[in-house]
Amino acid sequence: MKNKIRIALDGPSGSGKSTVAKELSKKLNILYLDTGAMYRAVALKTLNLGKDTFDEKAVSEFIDNIDLQIRYISGSQHTFLDGDDVSEKIREPRISMQASNVSSLKCVRLKMVDMQRKIAADMSCVLDGRDIGSFVLPDADYKFYITAGVDVRAKRRMKELEEKGYKVDFEKLKKEIEQRDYNDKNRDFAPLRCADDAIIIDTSDMTVTEVLNKILSYIK
Ligand code: DC
């Protein structure tokens, strides 16, 4: 393996990319950056200010000076907003759609992409998101597009939320995932897109270990 390796994992919500990315980073002993957490933190900040997550003017007033930090504690990523660890709060179901909304704003993407490129600049890493292979790291060494059918993704998300104690309605959750897919794929700037040179993996009928092994089989 060469000195520095950068891996992009993109795909829609619930495709299993973050679980796989975490495992992959452990296996290769490289940094893992969950970029979705950053958009979630921006959504939380917007809501804390009592603003609408589509309000570009309101968001543009704070985004360049946002106090958003990614720190690694005992090997896992923690997201700090205005000095507070918001890692749990940004996972609340109400934040998911708001993060998708705020991520459509160009001023937000430019700031987040700049932060992500700085984090990825001088170390081996795996980044998961929507536009990593197509926009953030177009020259990544390996690019994977992780996908799965919408029912499978909704079931996975439901299990994850139920394990955290949330009560969820399957049909409502599925509709929300479809809406997020639509938003993420159809925004004007750096939408969710499979990079031309990405390897596509449909995880609908695969276990995490199978996906991980498949990815590892490509990495030299
Ligand atoms: O991966 P996630 O569900 O935590 O991401 C939340 C939202 O953030 C998602 O709906 C779209 C947005 N996002 C993005 O636009 N670009 C990324 N690289 C990561 C996430």
Residue 157 reports pLDDT greater than 70: yes
User: What's at 189, amino acid-wise?
Assistant: F
Residue 2 reports pLDDT greater than 80: no
129: Cβ below 6 Å to ligand 1? yes
pLDDT tens profile 122-137: 899 999 999 999 999 9
40: Cβ below 6 Å to ligand 1? yes
Shortest-distance Cα residue to atom 12 of ligand 1: 100
Q: State residue 207 phi and psi, 5-degree precision.
A: -85, 165
The CATH code of the domain that includes 183 is: 3.40.50.300
pLDDT at 3: 79
Residue 19 located in a structural domain: yes
Residue 87 located in a structural domain: yes
Residue 193 located in a structural domain: yes
| Mean predicted lDDT score pLDDT of the chain | 95
Residue numbers of the domain that contains 59: 6-210
| Å from CA of 131 to ligand 1 middle | 9
Q: What is the pTM of this model?
A: 0.95
pLDDT at 55: 98
| Å from CA of 205 to ligand 1 middle | 23
Spatial CA neighbour of 179 closest among 74, 100, 88: 100
Indicate the number of domains in the chain.
1
The secondary structure of the chain as a DSSP string is --S--EEEEE-STTSSHHHHHHHHHHHHT-EEEETHHHHHHHHHHHHHTT--TT-HHHHHHHHTT--EEEEEETTEEEEEETTEE-TTGGGSHHHHHHHHHHHT-HHHHHHHHHHHHHHHHTS-EEEEESSIIIII-TT-SEEEEEE--HHHHHHHHHHHHHHTT----HHHHHHHHHHHHHHHHH-SSS-S---TTPEEEE-TT--HHHHHHHHHHH--
pLDDT at 59: 98
116: Cβ below 6 Å to ligand 1? no
Shortest-distance Cα residue to atom 4 of ligand 1: 36
Residue 197 located in a structural domain: yes
Residue 1 located in a structural domain: no
22: Cβ below 6 Å to ligand 1? no
Is residue 120 a contact partner of residue 33, using CB atoms and an 8 Å limit? Answer: yes
Residue 95 located in a structural domain: yes
Residue 121 reports pLDDT greater than 70: yes
pLDDT-above-90 percentage for the chain? 95
17: Cβ below 6 Å to ligand 1? no
Residue 41 located in a structural domain: yes
pLDDT at 220: 84
135: Cβ below 6 Å to ligand 1? no
Residue 38 located in a structural domain: yes
Q: How confident is the model at residue 191 (pLDDT cuts 50, 70, 90)?
A: very high
pLDDT at 1: 47
